[in-house]
Amino acid sequence: MVYKIFCDESNYMLHDTSDIMVNGALKIDEAYLLQAKKHIKYLRHKYNYHTEIKWTKLIAKQWDFYKELIDYFFENENMEFKATLVMNKTNARHERYDRDHNEFYYVVYYYTLRDMMDVENNFKIYFDYKDTLGGERVKKLKEILSKKGYEQSEFTIIHSHESQLIQLCDLFVGAIGYANRADIPKESAIKNRIVEYLDAKIRASCDSYCSIKQTKPWERKFNIFRWSLQ
């Protein structure tokens, strides 16, 4: 079988506006990709939503669109999401492992992707374009995954406006980051509403206690690996 995985991340640089880092990946069976894209386009038409879905550019009056988009993900058995949430990233003691922050980036992505992949199936992995260094990052990540037995994987960088599922991944990554940041005021009504609703959907999908801050390792539908660096 062939699966497609759409990836996005926030605050991946060592020194930026936040001390947390979130990597996210949304997996779907390739046979159901067109169906998913068509449904999201249907929701866009239904709610007259024609701009790119981005956590940093949410539209306050479009709550119903975001709600139905989240519902669609949780009701679609062919889609899974995994996030690695790194807390206190500046506490990482890279010298202990003979690496720097750039190499740590690959470690985080490996943890994000490894539970979504296996050696029996083929994977096409898409990354959102961030900067001119993206090509080197993807090349390095491919080398790492190949050493783990995932030689059959394909890696592609695209712009987020080209992919409905990267945009959905961006929404989830943004919500996780926002919910876990203690250093910012929670003044956005639409962001708070999305976080609360997503948290409720995550809890309802789990067999045991979980939330938008962390889930159990075995959760498949929506998994958040919380990695606290002391």
- Averaged pLDDT, groups of 10, the chain, 230 residues long: 92 64 95 97 97 96 98 97 87 58 75 87 86 69 74 80 94 96 90 98 91 94 87
Beta strands in 30-87 (DSSP E): 79-87
CATH of 2-228, one of 3.40.50.2000, 2.30.110.20, 1.25.40.80, 3.30.420.10: 3.30.420.10
What is each CA distance from 189 to 29, 172, 192, in whole angstroms? 34, 17, 5
Buried b (16+ CB within 10 A) or exposed e, 129-158: eeeeeeeebbeebbeebeeeebeebebeee
DSSP string, 95-140: GGGT--HHHHHHHHHHHHHHTT--SSSEEEEEEE--STTHHHHHHH
Q: What is the pLDDT of residue 136?
A: 75
Indicate the domain borders of the chain.
2-228
Q: What is the pLDDT of residue 93?
A: 61
Q: What is the pLDDT of residue 91?
A: 63
CA distance 40 to 26: 15
CA distance 132 to 219: 35
Longest dimension (CA), the chain: 53
Instruction: Give phi and psi for 214, each to the nearest 5.
Output: -175, 145
Buried b (16+ CB within 10 A) or exposed e, 45-57: eebebeeebebee
Q: What is the pLDDT of residue 183?
A: 83
Q: Residues 221, 81: contact at Cβ < 8 Å? A: yes
Q: E strand or H helix at 156, and its extent?
A: strand 154-158
DSSP string, 165-196: HHHHHHHHHHHHHHHH-SSS----HHHHHHHH
Q: Is 197 exposed, middle or buried, given 0-12, 13-18 or 19+ CB atoms closer than 10 A?
A: middle
Q: What is the pLDDT of residue 15?
A: 54
